[in-house]
Amino acid sequence: MPKRSPAELHEILRAMLRESLRLGSEGAQRSRLLHAQGCADGFMRALVEAGLSDHRELLTLVREVRAEAFGPATREAHESTVAAA
């Protein structure tokens, strides 16, 4: 089995996230939605544990996919707000 580049793996993750967001917006069965979210979450964890991605890179990727699906965020979160939550 050929090795995939980090860019290829990120494209796979993007597809998984798009599917998860699509299922959520279409009101799919909860079990299907949770399965899709769990697959994407596990894939992200594997990327981090394998040293192929870091948390910041994955957060940026998720933000981009969400913006594709729902438009830009309504406001920016500041680090001090995020740390307090």
- Residue 81 pLDDT: 59
Q: Which domain holds residue 20?
A: 6-72
- Residue 2 pLDDT: 77
Query: Is residue 13 domain-resident?
Result: yes
Query: Is residue 84 domain-resident?
Result: no
Tokens matching residue 82: 């995020």
Query: Is residue 80 domain-resident?
Result: no
pTM of the entire predicted model: 0.79
Distance between CA 67 and CA 55 in Å, rounded? 18
What stretches in the chain show pLDDT beneath 70?
1, 75-85
Distance between CA 51 and CA 70 in Å, rounded? 30
- Residue 58 pLDDT: 96
Which amino acid belongs to residue 39? C
Widest pairwise Cα distance in the chain: 45
Report how many domains make up the chain: 1
In sequence order, which residues have a C-beta less than 8 Å from that of residue 39 and are 6 or more positions away? Answer: 16, 20
Strands (E), the chain: none
Query: Is residue 15 domain-resident?
Result: yes
Query: Is residue 82 domain-resident?
Result: no
- Residue 80 pLDDT: 67
